[in-house]
Structure 1
Amino acid sequence: MKTLSNARVSELFESYFGTAPVGTVKAPGRVNLIGEHTDYNGGFVLPAAINYHTYIAFALRGDRQLRLVAYNFDNESVVVDLDAVQVHDTNASWSNYVRGVVQEMRKQGFKLAGGDLYIAGDLHSGAGLSSSASLEMALIRALTSLSQEQIEPTQAALMGQAAENNFVGCNCGIMDQLISARGQEHAALLIDCQDLSTRAVPVPADWEILIVHSGVKRGLVDSEYNQRRQQCEQAAAFFGQPSLRGVELAQLLAAEAELDELSFRRARHVLTENQRTLDAAKALAEGNLASLVKVMVESHASMRDDFNITVPAIDTLVNILAVAGEGKAGARMTGGGFGGCVVAVAPAAVIPRLAAAVEAHYQDQTGCIPTLIRAKASAGAFA
Structure 2
Amino acid sequence: MMQDRVVSLFQESFGRVPTAVCRAPGRIEFIGNHTDYNGGEVMGAAIDRGLWVAVAPREDGERRFCSDLAPGRVVLQSGVLEPKEGDESWINYPLGVLAGMPEFGLTAPSGFDFAVASDLPTGAGLSSSAAIELSSGLAFLALTEQSLPREELVKLGRWAENHFVGVPCGILDQGVSGFGAENSLVHIDCATTAFSTVPMPEGAHFWIFNTPGGHALVDGAYASRHRECMAAAGVLGVKLLADTTLEALVAAKAQMEPTVFKRAHHVLSEIERVNGVQAALAEGDLATVGKLLVASHRSSQHDFENSTVQLDDVVDRLVECEGVWGARLTGGGFGGAVMALTDERFDAAAAAEVSAAFAEKWGAPATPLHLQAARGAERIC
* Normalised TM-score (structure 2): 0.91
Contact 1:321 1:357 survives alignment (8 Å): no
Q: 1:101-120 residue pairs with structure 2 within 5 A? A: 101-113=97-109, 114-120=111-117
The reply on whether 1:173 has 2:173 as its aligned counterpart is: no
Give the equivalent residue in structure 1 for 2:357: 361
1:251 alignment partner, SS class = helix
Report the Cα distance in structure 2 between the residues aligned to 1:167 and 1:228, rounded to whole angstroms. Answer: 19
The reply on whether 1:70 has 2:67 as its aligned counterpart is: yes
Give the equivalent residue in structure 1 for 2:125: 128
2:348 alignment partner, SS class = helix
Report the Cα distance in structure 2 between the residues aligned to 1:344 and 1:193, rounded to whole angstroms. Answer: 24
Report the Cα distance in structure 1 between the residues aligned to 2:8 and 2:133, rounded to whole angstroms. Answer: 22
Report the Cα distance in structure 1 between the residues aligned to 2:291 and 2:29, rounded to whole angstroms. Answer: 17
Report the Cα distance in structure 2 between the residues aligned to 1:263 and 1:116, rounded to whole angstroms. Answer: 46
* Shift in Å, 1:305: 2.0
* Shift in Å, 1:281: 2.4
Q: 1:134-145 residue pairs with structure 2 within 5 A? A: 134-145=131-142
1:209 alignment partner, SS class = strand
Q: 1:1-383 residue pairs with structure 2 within 5 A? A: 4-74=1-71, 76-82=72-78, 84-90=79-85, 92-113=88-109, 114-218=111-215, 222-325=219-322, 328-352=324-348, 354-382=350-378
Aligned residue type for 2:146: E
Report the Cα distance in structure 2 between the residues aligned to 1:226 and 1:70, rounded to whole angstroms. Answer: 28
Cα distance change of structure 1 residues 317 and 229 upon mapping to structure 2, 3 Å threshold: same
Report the Cα distance in structure 1 between the residues aligned to 2:106 and 2:231, rounded to whole angstroms. Answer: 39
Mark the runs of 5 or more structure 2 residues left unpaired by the alignment. Answer: none
1:150 alignment partner, SS class = coil
Cα distance change of structure 1 residues 89 and 240 upon mapping to structure 2, 3 Å threshold: closer
Mark the runs of 5 or more structure 1 residues left unpaired by the alignment. Answer: none
Cα distance change of structure 1 residues 60 and 230 upon mapping to structure 2, 3 Å threshold: closer
* Shift in Å, 1:249: 1.8
Report the Cα distance in structure 2 between the residues aligned to 1:355 and 1:168, rounded to whole angstroms. Answer: 35
Contact 2:51 2:116 survives alignment (8 Å): yes
Contact 1:39 1:175 survives alignment (8 Å): yes
The CA deviation string for residues 320-367 of structure 1, in whole angstroms up to 9 with x for no partner, is 1010136x4210112222322111111234233540331232122333
* Shift in Å, 1:277: 1.1
* Shift in Å, 1:223: 2.8
Cα RMSD over matched residues? 2.3
Contact 2:6 2:117 survives alignment (8 Å): yes
* Shift in Å, 1:103: 1.4
The CA deviation string for residues 278-311 of structure 1, in whole angstroms up to 9 with x for no partner, is 2112323432111111101111111122222222
Report the Cα distance in structure 2 between the residues aligned to 1:373 and 1:12, rounded to whole angstroms. Answer: 25
Aligned residue type for 1:25: C
Report the Cα distance in structure 1 between the residues aligned to 2:68 and 2:219, rounded to whole angstroms. Answer: 29
The CA deviation string for residues 140-167 of structure 1, in whole angstroms up to 9 with x for no partner, is 1111111110111221122122222222
* Shift in Å, 1:379: 1.0
* Normalised TM-score (structure 1): 0.90
* Shift in Å, 1:273: 0.4
Cα distance change of structure 1 residues 354 and 272 upon mapping to structure 2, 3 Å threshold: farther
The CA deviation string for residues 213-272 of structure 1, in whole angstroms up to 9 with x for no partner, is 121444798333333333322322222111111111222233344444333322221111
Contact 2:214 2:335 survives alignment (8 Å): yes
Report the Cα distance in structure 2 between the residues aligned to 1:228 and 1:345, rounded to whole angstroms. Answer: 27
Query: How many residues align structurally?
Result: 377
Among all aligned residue pairs of Structure 1 and Structure 2, give the percentage whose two residues are the same amino acid.
37
After TM superposition, the runs of 4+ consecutive aligned structure 1 residues lying more than 4 A away are none
Report the Cα distance in structure 1 between the residues aligned to 2:347 and 2:263, rounded to whole angstroms. Answer: 33
